[in-house]
C-alpha cells in the first residue's frame, strides 16, 4: 500500500499543478517552457563553481591523502571507540555528498545496513550536511566571497552531528 502511494506521489503532484493551472486559466505549458529557459542562465552561472569543486574533491580522493592521514590517527580513533570504517565517511561528508553515498553503500555491502556500522553510517548521513558543497554552490552562485563564519558554523554543526551520531548509536547498540 505505502509503496504504491509513494510511487504515485510525484505524478499526483504534477496532476495537482495542472488542475490548479487550468482552474486559474494559466497556460501551464508556456509557463513551464519559460521556467526551463530561465534555468539555463542559472546553470551557466553555477557550472564553473561546480566544476571547480568536483575537481578539488577528485584530486583529494585520488591523491591518497585521506588514507595517509587516517593511518596517523588510528590510535586516537581506537581510543575514542570510533570504528575506522566510519572515519572516511565522517571526513568526506562536509565535502561531498556523492562520495559519502559511495562510502555508505560500501559499508552497507560489507557490513549490512542493519548492523552497528550500517546504522552509524546512516545516522551520520542524516545528521550532517555537505557544508563545502552548500558554501561553494549557493554562495558562489550569488557572488558571496566572504564565507568564513558560515563555513565554521557549518563545520561545527557537522562535528556536533558526527559526535552525537557516534554517542547515540553507541548507546543503542
Angle at the Cα of 77 from the Cα atoms of 82 and 113, rounded to 5 degrees: 25
- Specify the pLDDT at position 61: 67
Q: Which of 115, 58, 120 is nearest to 92 (CA)?
A: 58
Q: Tens digits of per-residue pLDDT, 44-98?
A: 877 887 777 777 777 876 788 877 888 888 888 888 888 988 988 998 899 888 7
Whole-number percent of the chain with pLDDT over 90:
37
Q: Which tens digits make up the pLDDT trace of 104-116?
A: 988 998 899 999 9
Q: What is the pLDDT of residues 121-135, one digit of tens each?
A: 999 999 999 998 888
* Residue 96 burial class via C-beta count within 10 angstroms: exposed 0-12, middle 13-18, buried 19 and up: buried
Query: What is the value of pTM for the model shown?
Result: 0.66
pLDDT of residue 135: 86
Section 29-51 average pLDDT: 83
Amino acid at each position: 500500500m505505502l509503496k504504491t502511494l509513494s510511487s504515485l506521489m510525484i505524478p499526483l503532484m504534477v496532476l495537482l499543478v495542472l488542475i490548479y493551472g487550468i482552474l486559474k486559466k494559466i497556460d501551464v505549458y508556456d509557463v513551464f517552457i519559460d521556467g526551463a529557459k530561465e534555468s539555463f542562465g542559472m546553470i551557466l552561472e553555477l557550472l564553473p563553481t561546480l566544476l571547480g569543486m568536483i575537481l578539488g574533491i577528485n584530486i583529494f580522493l585520488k591523491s591518497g591523502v585521506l588514507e595517509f592521514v587516517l593511518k596517523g590517527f588510528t590510535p586516537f580513533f581506537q581510543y575514542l571507540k570510533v570504528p575506522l570504517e566510519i572515519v572516511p565517511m565522517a571526513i568526506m561528508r562536509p565535502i561531498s555528498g556523492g562520495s559519502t553515498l559511495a562510502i555508505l553503500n560500501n559499508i552497507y555491502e560489507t557490513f549490512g545496513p542493519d548492523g552497528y556500522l550500517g546504522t552509524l553510517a546512516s545516522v551520520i548521513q542524516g545528521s550532517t550536511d555537505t557544508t563545502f558543497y552548500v558554501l561553494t554552490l549557493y554562495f558562489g552562485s550569488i557572488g558571496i566571497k566572504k564565507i568564513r563564519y558560515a563555513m565554521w558554523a557549518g563545520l561545527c554543526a557537522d562535528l556536533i552531528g558526527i559526535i552525537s551520531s557516534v554517542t547515540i548509536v553507541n548507546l543503542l547498540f
